[in-house]
Chain A
Amino acid sequence: AQSVAQPEDQVNVAEGNPLTVKCTYSVSGNPYLFWYVQYPNRGLQFLLKYITGDNLVKGSYGFEAEFNKSQTSFHLKKPSALVSDSALYFCAVRPNQAGTALIFGKGTTLSVSS
């Protein structure tokens, strides 16, 4: 079965420190990979995506993600965390198969302390 795993329910970092939110996937072929962020009682907001090309993808609000095909991972990173980055982060994968929808991980809560 095709799936996305976010192994950490919560990640805690201090403001100014680098952060990493992990994601691995199990999808056949060459999938498209996405990160979304969700604030309380709101919908999901797009952060970045990997389609093809450079393995390091830059997105909104200073976030970036690194695609690693051999490890089937797509970890989200930011060099210096802000308190305002505290939110729920979802990794999602879209199989390269016409008509298939995004498959989401269960989410990781990022908490940045001042």
Chain B
Amino acid sequence: EAEVAQSPRYKITEKSQAVAFWCDPISGHATLYWYRQILGQGPELLVQFQDESVVDDSQLPKDRFSAERLKGVDSTLKIQPAELGDSAMYLCASSFPGQGYGYTFGSGTRLTVV
């Protein structure tokens, strides 16, 4: 069964440092999402891509977060500088375009900022 690949699985970084996460969606899934899940809460959308274009980044803290999907395949989410409040699980998901399709999620990256 096809999977969404994410790396690293775990990351510990000091505040004010830069950190990056990588996601490789399922082949053929044009839509890619980055969600942030704080412990005890549901996932919240950070950014949505359709191919290489950003569809929605209204909840992305653009002063410190950036996301790209240059060739419309894999994607990178970056935080610079990291803050203590950024500690969370960062989930990548992909789907076919169209509102009726569910997502396939990766295993996530657990970020701890110290």
Residues of A in contact with B (beta carbons under 8 Å apart): 4, 32, 34, 36, 41-46, 49, 51, 90, 94-107
Contact = CB atoms under 8 A, between A and B. Distances in A.
A97 B108 contact: no
Contact of B43 (A44, A46, A49, A97): A44
Interface in B60-101: 89, 91, 93, 99-100
B100 A90 contact: no
A93 B108 CA distance: 21
A102 B108 contact: no
A101 B33 CA distance: 8
B55 A99 contact: yes
Q: Majority SS of interface residues in chain A?
A: loop
Interface of B: 4, 6, 33, 35, 40-45, 48, 50, 55-56, 89, 91, 93, 99-100, 102-108, 110
Contact of B110 (A41, A46, A103): A41
B33 A99 contact: no
A96 B91 contact: no
Contacts of A107: 40-42
Contact of B100 (A32, A42, A43): A32
B44 A44 contact: no
A96 B99 contact: yes
A83 B69 CA distance: 41
